[in-house]
């Protein structure tokens, strides 16, 4: 795959944070001599990223304790 560079922009929308929703809009651009099929494979890989899964399908619990 002739991927030369990836550009990422992340936009945050915290307007519904008090209701429990925090939104991130991620925009990706893949550069290089890539076919549409290769670009689609890259977008599919992003959806399988462990951090993406954590942020979209997991309940996160944080416990704060004194040292």
Q: What is the pLDDT of residues 11-45, one digit of tens each?
A: 888 898 888 887 888 899 999 999 999 999 999 99
DSSP 33: S
CA distance 32 to 54: 29
Higher pLDDT, 53 or 11: 11
Q: Which of 22, 23, 26, 57 is nearest to 43 (CA)?
A: 26
Residue 66 pLDDT exceeds 80 = yes
């Amino acid at each position: 795959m002739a991927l030369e560079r990836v550009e990422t922009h992340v936009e945050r929308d915290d307007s519904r944070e008090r209701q429990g929703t925090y939104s991130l809009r991620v925009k990706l651009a893949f550069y290089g001599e890539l076919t549409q099929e290769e670009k689609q494979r890259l977008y599919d890989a992003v959806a399988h990223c462990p951090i993406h899964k954590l942020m979209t399908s997991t309940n996160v619990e944080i416990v704060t304790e004194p040292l």
